A and B are shown apart, each in its own frame.
Chain A
Amino acid sequence: GQQVQQSPASLVLQEGENAELQCNFSSTATQLQWFYQSPGGSLVSLLSNPSGTKHTGRLTSTTVTKERRSSLHISSSQTTDSGTYLCALITGNTGKLIFGLGTTLQVQP
């Protein structure tokens, strides 16, 4: 089965609302990363967060390693936040990333 599961699959918000994205994984992660992919575009790393809570700008990620879950909170969403958010984990020391299917976020004005 899928080693990395993300929910919800899609999310529609009004500008200014907050978003909460979830990632659950079945393997022990040595690293967990959140990526943003613009529509039809490439991937950009947002946060690396193997455990605990990390902040950058309007983004907060909380990873509870024992429970094999991570969340990404986007505060005060903007239309430019629209796109797909991907969770990926690294197991072991190979540096190989295993991706979830993503959450597609649409922020309406």
Chain B
Amino acid sequence: GAGVSQSPRYKVAKRGQDVALRCDPISGHVSLFWYQQALGQGPEFLTYFQNEAQLDKSGLPSDRFFAERPEGSVSTLKIQRTQQEDSAVYLCASRPPGSDTQYFGPGTRLTVL
């Protein structure tokens, strides 16, 4: 079946612009995670949803970062007033009920100029 999809795959933004990154999880997966991966580093946890509830946002680096999942399926990660240090790959993962295996999307590579 279809895996986790993310769009866009690549995004170039000028410093100060707002961006929105989309994640389509696998159907039926109630848990959804966002990660930030800097070049040469492992994924860093940003936030976690169970259905539409955002249960953990402790990893969001600043109040410029905002995530939502209003209907418990598609999720959007929004970054306001982007800065150069926001340049990274943003990964989304979903997880089915009763499992601890996360299924990752291909990521969105954000470059802030």
A and B co-occur in one complex: no
Residues of B within 8 A of A (CB): none
